[in-house]
Amino acid sequence: MQNIDPMKNSLAFLITKKDMKKSLRNLFILSFLLNGCGNSGSSNEIANVNNNEISSFSWSLSSPQEEGMDSDKLENVLEYVFDDDFSTQGLIVVRNGKIVIEKYQDISDSTISGLLSVFSDKEILSWGTGLTHDDLKDIFGNKDKDSLATSWSSAKSITSTLIGIAIEEGFIDSVDEYASRYLPDWIGTDKENNITIKNLLEMRSLLKCPPGGNGGSSIYYQEDQLAPSKDRNFDPDISKANPPYFNNWVYCNADTMLLGEILLNATGKSVQEFGDYYLFSKVGMTVDWWQDGKGNYLAYCCVDMTTRDFAKFGLLWRNAGFWGGEQIIPAEWIAESLSSKINIDWSETTFYNYQWYTHNKFTDADNSIEVYGFGTKGYNTNNIWIIPSYNIIIVRNSLYHRHVPVGTEAIRTGDISDWIDESYRDQANYHLTLYPGNLALIGGQPYLFDSSNVHLFNSEKMVKDIIESINN
């Protein structure tokens, strides 16, 4: 396979800043970009962009052949990704800034059978009681490019991006500031001079994570999700730096929830408001960010937008934060986010920093491919992958239904008991992301009764196979 030369275009945009401080920053960026370039597919570069091309950006459609990809191999990828068991709603593959694959699929009959089985037990879940096959087909049918998907934890990467923009705009001095400057409840506590914004970005706050899987999911079910995120004590076990703790790293939703509060107190704007002004509107993304029952935005999860809009966010990062003639995300922030590699406890080839994941290898059960990539990870594989050396962006979203239209002021509350009340159901935001086969939906999250006969989606296999579809 032939690599794309990410440095073929000019780096002139990096020296357009007016003040010396930013010029010095750009020297760092330039050094990072140049040092990251090479002929190997494992290079960790962020490519410069053609300013003229991006300033007039609109989605262009192309064929795999035109972008140097094997159609037959990609057809095999599609067959795998849209297996009925995986409940995939949408997949987009972008190469050279053009969409080469875009496919959407609604609910399968096998998933409907699983849901009807679950809904038959009223003690497990009341939400779906009385729904028929046709009802579920109507709710989860007719998926296309305009259908909403949800981010789950991919929102963490968006929150981190907004922190970087806030620093560039002067609302926050640096990541090395103590978080207590923007979290007044911590003043006078042992957290005041011990936790920096960087610690939260890296998920190395050393604070005890709330109980529950998926990074302390118990906060998701509380009406006020900010309070338990702030009211945590240091965990002495973390600082021992022993398994399961690597580099004092603990994946924790509460750390990201605090970043949203820091942004609010630093700028006077929520993640939704700040993002709308400084990011989403500039790129043409229509974004609806979920709130808890107290109006706190869930900075760690739950951003609703289309699969195409997720791809725009990936393309923005692929292009070093440059879009429409404007440097939207500081290129320095992108370089900083991807330069430090924190080992995590569940992978030898995946690393973490500033709410982003980086990879030096993608593998499946049979073999692997060594290539650098980075991206976001959301529950049930609502992910964005970016492979700079091959100019590829991949977005996959799971099947999703949103009850309340985008733009409403409805708030999702964590009080599950209210779900029994149909009148409440008509007023509340809630997630419904589907898993395959024999499943349950409790508190908006799916749980498998029996996963023994269900094969699970392997996202690394998908990425590896897409990369290997590139013609030599």
Span 257-282, average pLDDT = 97
Domain boundary (224, 248, 269) is at 269
pLDDT band for 381, please (50, 70, 90 cuts): very high
Q: CA 113 to CA 130: how far, in whole Å?
A: 14
203: left (phi > 0), else alpha (psi -120 to 50), else beta? left
**Per-residue confidence (pLDDT) for residue 424, from 0 to 100:** 43
| Mean pLDDT of the 402-417 span | 47
Give percent of the chain with pLDDT exceeding 70: 73
Sequence-ordered list of residues with C-beta below 8 angstroms from that of 253, at least 6 positions apart, any chain? 153, 209, 210, 214, 215, 216, 217, 219, 220, 229, 300, 301
Mean pLDDT of 323-348: 90
Asked if residue 354 and residue 225 are part of one domain, the reply reads: no
Lowest mean pLDDT among 72-81, 137-146, 215-224, 441-450: 441-450
% of the chain at pLDDT higher than 90: 56
For residue 77, is pLDDT > 80?
yes
Q: What is the structure's pLDDT at 225?
A: 92
Same domain, 377 and 465: yes
Residues 127 and 156 in one domain: yes
Domain count, the chain: 2
Res 402 pLDDT > 60: yes
Express each pLDDT in 202-260 by its tens digit.
999 999 999 988 899 888 878 789 999 999 999 988 876 555 566 889 999 999 999 99
Residues 49 and 140 grouped into a single domain: yes
pLDDT number for residue 62? 98
Q: Which residue has the higher pLDDT, 396 or 25?
A: 396
CATH number at residue 304: 3.40.710.10
Return the top range by mean pLDDT from 1-5, 198-202, 223-227, 450-454.
Answer: 198-202
pLDDT above 90: residue 85: no
CATH number at residue 221: 1.20.58.710
Q: Tell whether 124 and 202 lie within a shared domain.
A: no
Confidence of residue 112 (pLDDT cuts 50, 70, 90): confident
Whether the pLDDT of residue 293 is over 70: the answer is yes
Q: How far is CA 448 from CA 90, 94, 336, 438, 454, in A?
A: 22, 33, 39, 6, 9
- Domain identity same for 125 and 160: yes
Q: Are residues 192 and 128 in the same domain?
A: no
The whole-angstrom separation of Cα 245 and Cα 345 is 7
Q: Which residue would you say has higher pLDDT here, 289 or 213?
A: 289
- Please report which helix (H) or strand (E) contains residue 337, including its range: helix 331-339
Residue 439 has pLDDT above 90, yes or no: no
- Give the structural domain span for 279: 1-175+270-472
More confidently predicted of 230 and 120: 230
- In this structure, of 96-105, 221-230, 387-396, the range with the lowest mean pLDDT score is 221-230
